Chain A
Amino acid sequence: MRSAASMQAGERRLSLLVTVLAYAMPVIFVLVPLAIFLVYSFFSVDQGTIVYAPTLGNYIRFFTDPIFLPVFWNTIILCLSVAVICILLAYPTAYFLTTLKGRWRYALLMLLLVPLLMSYVIKIYAIRSILGLNGFLNKALVALGILDQPSTLFVFNMNAILLTLTLLLIPFAILPIFLSLERIPQTLLRASDDLGASGLQTFLRITLPLSLPGVASAASFVFVLAIGDFLTPQMVGGISGFTFGRILYSQFGTAYNWPFGAALSVALAIVVILAILIGERFGRNRGSSV
């Protein structure tokens, strides 16, 4: 019989390895790249080669050049709008799901989440063809007599980006809202009825406040995913639909100005981190246990 002590030592080594890995993964794959970006944002480019001398030039350019800040703000507004529209559409959907019984509830939820399994690019193509001049949306509006002739209002502009991002990201809003609604104990709603509240009062004073954490995480999910997306604006935005993501992408892919791209990324990362922190702040409920 091999001694139990050596077995124990082996187990201890294994658990140490697991611990190291658990900490190393986020450090190597998240923190280190972020740090590299931060460092690069203080370099500059001269005739296509990176100059490794620290400078604040990139940040000065970002704040003073008349192009970047307006696009930055517009993109933030756009993504906030996407988040708001997603929430407005997802909340009733999620609420409806929680009113369903047992099997139906999860079957329908799965159905709503199926788009997440499909390729992002294919979905954008599909939505673009719906929004286009000969697309389903225009045909339907003309057929219903709402429009006289097909409109170019829905594709290759900001509207197109807004609609497409909303459609793409709605599942990310439904899921957290559904989970937070489902977690509300039924007895709380019965207690509210019992104390004389009407259905509407119960919804406004119990269900809604208790589901706000889910709404907050849904909003920050959608906002963060929307603001980081450059593919959707690229494909449906045309010339007028210019977003911060596209500028960022062009710095790396077209202009080969990595240090400036890194500086823009840092600006974006700050917004994303703020969004996550705000989502987290409101996502936590006061005294969440009953």
Chain B
Amino acid sequence: MDNKSMKGWLYLLPAIFFLGVFMVYPLADVFIYSFEEGYNSASQTFFGIGGYNYSYVLHDPYFLQALKNTFLLVVITVPVSTLIALLISLGLTSITKLRDLYQTIFFLPYVTNTLAIGLVFMILFKKTPYSDGMVNMLLNLFGAGSVDFIDGPYWAKMTVLCIYTVWVVLPFKILILTSALLSVNQDYYNAARVDGTSKFRIFMRITLPMISPSIFYLVITGFIGAFKAYSDAVALFGTNLNAAGMNTIVGYVYDMLYGDSGGYPSYAAAAALILFVIVLTITCINMLIRRKHVYI
């Protein structure tokens, strides 16, 4: 190997070392874990090789609950947050005064600690014996009864989780859509206006096609992000998510690994791989749709 190649590999060495130890090796290892049956982390022994871990996980009611929660969260929050973000971005780009101020405010949730702000959402929604909380007060104003959103019925807990998730993911979406909208060439709009095209038609025929790559990017990252939801749920419902019935797939993986219910890396590996396959499938489907509908 010549001098230059030596130098190249030398510069790359630290990165290769860290990636090798903490990414490539674990990747191979996680497959092995997921097929080792009856693995004991204390003695590092196992009985045999097979698909038992997968079957255990797929029959575990906690996992099925986590699967249901995660799917609901994905199906609700991805479209809702993308639509709200589109609406707000359209508003932002149609004004010039105060745009920077609004943009800065809207981005604020991105830099906050999910766990910390989740606690604020919890006390806003929580109903305790000595107070119904902020949100219930508003509900009462509109004549609705009080609901405990944190320890109450399933739909109420799901609602808070969705609201908080949307609140957390919106900054990123607004940012991406606003810059996409601003980069659309004004000539198209002027030409359409000269032809007397209606606003709705301009939006459907010019704006939407021009920003479709960004929308698809947001949908794909939104799906991936929502499938990996975890810390939002912890922030609202505490670390024992199984007891609250609000666990997510990622939460299930971590609970299997560590904590009161932990010590089962094989089950954790199987669940993580199931999650990976789900995310991969959905991303591929998205890509196929994208090829059909995105114009650029």
Answer yes or no: do A and B interact: no
- B interface residue numbers (CB < 8 A to A): none
- A interface residue numbers (CB < 8 A to B): none
